[in-house]
Amino acid sequence: MLRLGLGIQLVAGIAIAVFQWLDMGLWGTVIPVMTYVGVISTIGSNSMACLLACYPQMAGTASSLAGTMRFGIGSLVGAGVAVVSDGTPWGMIGAIAICAILSAVFYWTLARKEP
């Protein structure tokens, strides 16, 4: 489920940038954003389950560290969007696309594979 969620989010993140570049209007923005946001809970819950499975002896510490990192990275991305904002949606679109690409790349390159 995690791979599927990350794949859907990756496609949606890239689609929003492409649709905006092609000037597809409101629906070219709304549909990819809804898709992107719609899989956040799937990704979050499954990634937390994978993390806790790796550290069962210190599940509370792992969970709190993951939550802190999630909110910390979110605040840094939000600050970055505010800094580059020029009155167009490109700052938000860039953040969405970059976060989707990075999350997929990190998963596919750094995640441990089960034997």
Q: What is the pLDDT of residues 21-66, one digit of tens each?
A: 999 988 988 999 999 999 999 999 999 998 898 888 999 999 999 9
Residues in Cβ contact with 8 at an 8 Å cutoff, skipping those fewer than 6 apart: 35, 39
Give the CA radius of gyration of the chain: 16
Kindly state the tokens that stand for 11: 């496609």
Stronger pLDDT, 22 or 111, i.e. the higher one:
22
Give the C-alpha distances (Å, rounded to integers) separating 16 from 9, 29, 32, 33, 88: 11, 6, 5, 7, 14
Residue ranges per domain, the chain? 2-110
Distance CA(65)–CA(58), nearest Å, equals: 11
pLDDT band of residue 110 (cuts 50, 70, 90) is confident
pTM for the model: 0.84
Percent of the chain with pLDDT over 90: 77
